[in-house]
Structure 1
Amino acid sequence: MDMSLVFISLACLVTGFSKFSIGGMGLIILPLTMLAFPGPEALGVIIPLYLLTDFIAVLTYRKNVNWRVLAKLLPFGALGVIGGTYVLGNIDPHTFMTILGILIFTLLGMSIWLDYHPLPVFTNRYAASVAGALCGFVGVLANAAGPLMGLFLLEQKMDKSAYVATRVWAFLTLNIMKLVGLISLGLINTETLQASASGLPALFIGMFIGYKVFARISAEQLKLIVRGAISLSAAHMLFFKSSN
């Protein structure tokens, strides 16, 4: 069996599951893809698949979207995508991911602390703009916007359905922007699209599993699982960085 197909299929399985359930698993997906497709072209394999799942997810979770939060996030998200596209390939990814991993662990600790010591940190007028810009920027460079988006949205005190609906709409918009940037850099081409297509069966299986799992978890379980995925992502940044 072609091991490249196995790794791409595993990445697609996790992608489908993540998009239809908990999110925040981008740095689990990227290393799997890079085992089959080393280098930044791995992003060119992932983003078209993200867009496909985003389109299906927004049709599935089209109700209870928090448009007010999106309106604050997305303009700054666009600026972050532009900045991330500009620096892609011109920065040491190991240093960047180390700094980002520390930042995510810090934000995660702050989020847990705020459960017991409420402060208007994630709800002040600047929080959405900072979160949007960071999500756009790190989403392009490291496929790591999920943990940051999860932290921000968890603190907006939305119910479970509003959390997922708002998240999928945010990522649909950001991933369309990322697609344009990756095409301009030549990271999406015939070869990467063929690799994306090879993982479609696993992608749909993951979407189905994620949808069924999501229907059975509570809001508190959702928060616990999202934070677990965030911790895994940050740990990967710090301790399991790719050699690319």
Structure 2
Amino acid sequence: MEWSWLFISLACLVTGFSKFSVGGLGLVILPLMMLAFPGPEALAVIVPLYLLTDFIAVLTYRKNINWSVLARLIPFGAVGVALGTVVLGNIDARTFMTVLGLLIFALLGLSIWLDYRPLPIFTNRYAASIAGMLCGFVGVLANAAGPLMGLFLLEQKMEKSAYVATRVWAFMTLNIMKLVGLVYLGLVNAETLQGSAVGLPALFIGMFFGYKFFARISPEQLKMIVRGAISLSAAHMLFFKSN
């Protein structure tokens, strides 16, 4: 597709911006990438780039990590990644887009619900196991574990530096597991790696803008724009799939 490079670059621009600013924009990134790679292959393009940004972020935020929280979260995250990988390996591209569209709408609804009511699931004794499995599973299928991870970590009452560092390390670990699963499924190949390489310039530009200019953006305005983009993307996947 002659416009593939543009969609890849847009997805990578948002990826870089998200990783070094608000986070949680995976619901926008994957639909954008799927305009160039319609199907699970889109994940195979994104995840290596996520790992690159994770590595840079880990070097930036390498102090005050809450290892006890990670020790409770990551094993269940691995279970969620494994379950998501099994599901991913047993659905075709068209079904994947339908499932993903429904899942994105469900997560969008959850995000709006949490604006008005807390979710006690993240404060009970089983929070780490539930949050870990959900983040792993949703991260594989929808690339959208950011909001769920953020909710869980906020409830751990950590100081700001510990929250950021722990979040970065948790995502790097989960993304390594995701990449292993994608390689096992044969989704990572020369074409997807070429797509990742095409997006590198936009990725670094997004990281720069995310780091430098996020303070100038109103959180409420950003939330409205992101939710609008999410809704349009999910609707496109559900109702405008190519035959």
1:205-232 Cα deviation digits (max 9, x unpaired): 1111112245x489xx77x689668855
Identity %: 67
What's the TM-score, normalizing by structure 1?
0.83
Structure 1 residues 97, 112: closer, same or farther in 2, change over 3 A?
Answer: same
Q: Distance in 2 between matches of 1:67 and 1:213?
A: 31
What's the TM-score, normalizing by structure 2?
0.84
The farther-off stretch of 124-133 and 161-170 is 161-170
Residues 111-190 of structure 1 aligned to structure 2 (within 5 Å): 112-114=116-118, 121-190=121-190
Structure 1, unaligned stretches of length 5 or more? Answer: none
The SS at the match of 1:241 is helix
Instruction: Tell whether the 8 Å contact from 1:26 to 1:233 is kept in structure 2 after alignment.
Output: no
- 1:241 has 2:237 as partner: yes
Residues 103-118 of structure 1 aligned to structure 2 (within 5 Å): 105-106=109-110, 108-110=112-114, 112-114=116-118
- 1:42 has 2:42 as partner: yes
1:86-132 Cα deviation digits (max 9, x unpaired): 11143543246425633552365246423xxxx86422221111011
Deviation at 1:168, TM superposition (A): 1.3
Structure 2, unaligned stretches of length 5 or more? Answer: none
Instruction: Tell whether the 8 Å contact from 1:75 to 1:132 is kept in structure 2 after alignment.
Output: yes
Q: Distance in 2 between matches of 1:157 and 1:229?
A: 29
Instruction: Tell whether the 8 Å contact from 2:122 to 2:131 is kept in structure 1 after alignment.
Output: no
Number of aligned residue pairs: give it.
236
Aligned residue for 1:88? Answer: 88
Q: Distance in 1 between matches of 2:130 and 2:226?
A: 18
Q: Distance in 2 between matches of 1:112 and 1:67?
A: 31
The farther-off stretch of 18-27 and 47-56 is 18-27
Deviation at 1:2, TM superposition (A): 4.2
Q: Distance in 2 between matches of 1:153 and 1:135?
A: 12
Q: Distance in 2 between matches of 1:50 and 1:139?
A: 12
Residue type at the aligned position of 1:101: F
Residue type at the aligned position of 2:109: F
Structure 1 residues 143, 64: closer, same or farther in 2, change over 3 A?
Answer: same
